[in-house]
Amino acid sequence: MPRMKTNFDVVREIALALPHVEEATLHGAPTVKLSGRLLACSALHKSAEANSLVVRVGMEQRSALLARDPNIYYVTDHYLNYPSVLARLDRIDRKALRELLEMGWRFVTSRAKVRKGSDRGGLAT
């Protein structure tokens, strides 16, 4: 059975099923935000591969993802200082994408509680 192509429509479908996630845009590209804070977006920086997604995750979580499956997860120099990971949408399945977005959801939620509104969810895409 052929695998369904993973693109931002699939990201949107999975993310919008999570509490308080809304659709938005950033520099004209589709994003999903959690209560106004960036959760995930299409990777726009020229260092990212085509059809990649940026998801906000903690640095330890990113390290674990990179070690677990470097064929799916990666980071470029541009994103090194941001709590995020890049994912190749053409290589990730729905289950792994759901787990990644849930991980990002938990990370953004925890940051919102810690920062109490001072974090605007900024990420150089």
pLDDT in tens, the chain (125 residues): 345 688 999 999 999 999 999 999 999 999 999 999 999 999 999 999 999 999 999 999 999 999 999 999 999 999 999 999 999 999 999 999 999 999 999 999 998 765 554 444 455 55
What is the dotted CATH code of the domain comprising 8-115?
3.90.1150.30
Q: Cα torsion for 71, 76, 81, 83, to the nearest 10°?
A: -30
pLDDT at res. 111: 80
Domain ranges of the chain: 8-115
Neighbours of 114 (CB within 10 A): 9
Neighbours of 118 (CB within 10 A): 8
pTM of the model: 0.87
pLDDT at res. 5: 80
For residue 26, the one-letter residue type is L
| Residues 75 and 66 sit within 8 Å (Cβ to Cβ) | yes
